[in-house]
Amino acid sequence: MTTINISNATKRYGTETALDGLDLSVRRGEIYGFLGPNGAGKSTTINLILDFIRPTAGEVSVFGLDAREDTLEIRTRTGILPEGVETYDRLTGRKHVEFAIESKGADDDPDELLERVGIADSADKKAGGYSKGMTQRLMFATALVGEPDLLILDEPSTGLDPNGAREMREIIREENARGATVFFSSHILGQVEAICDRVGILRKGELVAEDTVDGLRDSMPEQTRLRVQVDRIPEDSSAALEAIESVDGVSEVSADGTTLVVTCEDRAKTTVLRTIEEQGVSIEDFATDESSLEDLFMAYTADDRTEVTQ
């Protein structure tokens, strides 16, 4: 069962392509983390799902309904926390929640929702005086109205301190346990890693990776970076480097003076060290560092500064 299904969606603004033939599906009941640097097309994708914008080509459906034709029904069953959303400055926090409840024909208790997101104390204050974090909490409360089947959260931790972000993740887990599907975007891996069943990484309008968090980890060969300090540079240094490079499992070797950096699979470590010693030098020191999921994310999304921002 898929809750969100995007097939071959393209969105162009003039000559700029914000999304390029995106295929993406979110299964019912899962927490899907939508990752990518700013400007990769995350908000464009979410705006397509919500019918805020229309695709240049391709199909978007939610609950098996057409995102354009049945947008009202979709939004009745969905709770939304849009990115960069603003409140009505002259209305109180409670008024916002009451408005969402009335709009959805739900029967929630506004105070309970405000309590849940931790701003019950400010319920009667005008939202214009709220801090960024409080605004984000208020908008989150309105997204929770009517026990939605789907929660769409665009950069939900914006403006929240680490504690607030943790509280929000807690509520997201509770909502998911109740049965809600959660689709949430972030440009920070840590936000997503802790909570998501599956992760999609978007780069320049294209999905470059999609898997479970563990799957993404497994998909990386167990690469290790060996940093080796030797006592001297061997006479025939290029032949020495070639010998190390030719070891099975080594992908990269670089030398800087008497420091060697060797990227290799875990299993090749011992062979590499032995091969270095065979070059007639002695090892004075060595260190290893495991690559993390963060490295993978960086590798996928690096060099993204010239992105199309919308």
Partner 1 sequence: MSAITVAKKDFADAARSRKLMGLTAVFALFTLGGAFLASWAGDLFAELEGEGAESTLDLVFALQTPAGYLVPIIALVIGYAAIAGERESGSLKFLLGLPHTRRDVVIGKILGRSAVVAVSILVGFLVGLIGLFVFVGSVSIVDYLLFTVVTILFGFVYVCIAVGLSSMTGSTTRAAAGAFGLIVFFWFIWSFLAMGLLYLVEGSLWMDDHPDWYVSLLSLSPDAAYGSAIAAVFGEGQFTIATAYGVENPPLLAEPWFGFVVLAVWALVPLGIGLWQFGRADL
Report the candidate in 6, 1, 5 with the shortest Cα–Cα distance to residue 205. 6
Using CB under 8 A as the binding rule, the residues of this chain from 234 to 273 that contact partner 1 are: none
Q: Is 10 a residue that touches partner 1 (CB under 8 A)?
A: no
Instruction: Kindly report the number of other CB atoms within 10 A of residue 162's CB atom.
Output: 9
Nearer to partner 1, 108 or 193 (CB): 108
Q: Is 17 a residue that touches partner 1 (CB under 8 A)?
A: no
Nearer to partner 1, 13 or 290 (CB): 13
How many whole angstroms separate alpha carbon 21 and alpha carbon 11?
Answer: 8
Stretch that binds partner 1, among 99-107, 117-125, 186-194, 284-292 (CB under 8 A): 99-107
Q: Considering only residues 14, 84, 162, 257, which one is a binding residue for partner 1 as defined by CB under 8 A?
A: 84
Stretch that binds partner 1, among 97-105, 188-196, 224-232, 243-251 (CB under 8 A): 97-105
Q: Considering only residues 100, 144, 168, 272, which one is a binding residue for partner 1 as defined by CB under 8 A?
A: 100
Q: Is 114 a residue that touches partner 1 (CB under 8 A)?
A: no
Distances (CA, A) of 84 to 43, 46, 132, 164, 215: 10, 13, 10, 17, 32
Q: Is 160 a residue that touches partner 1 (CB under 8 A)?
A: no
Q: Is 176 a residue that touches partner 1 (CB under 8 A)?
A: no
How many whole angstroms separate alpha carbon 223 and alpha carbon 240?
Answer: 22
What is the size of the binding site for partner 1 (CB under 8 A)? 30
Instruction: Kindly report the number of other CB atoms within 10 A of residue 268's CB atom.
Output: 19
Q: Is 286 a residue that touches partner 1 (CB under 8 A)?
A: no
Instruction: Kindly report the number of other CB atoms within 10 A of residue 5's CB atom.
Output: 18
SS3 87: coil
Q: Considering only residues 21, 82, 159, 234, which one is a binding residue for partner 1 as defined by CB under 8 A?
A: 82
Residue 271 backbone phi and psi in degrees, to 5: -60, -40
How many whole angstroms separate alpha carbon 140 and alpha carbon 117?
Answer: 7
Residues in contact with partner 1 by CB under 8 A are 13, 47, 50, 52-54, 71-73, 75-76, 80, 82, 84-88, 90-91, 95-96, 99-100, 102-104, 139, 142-143
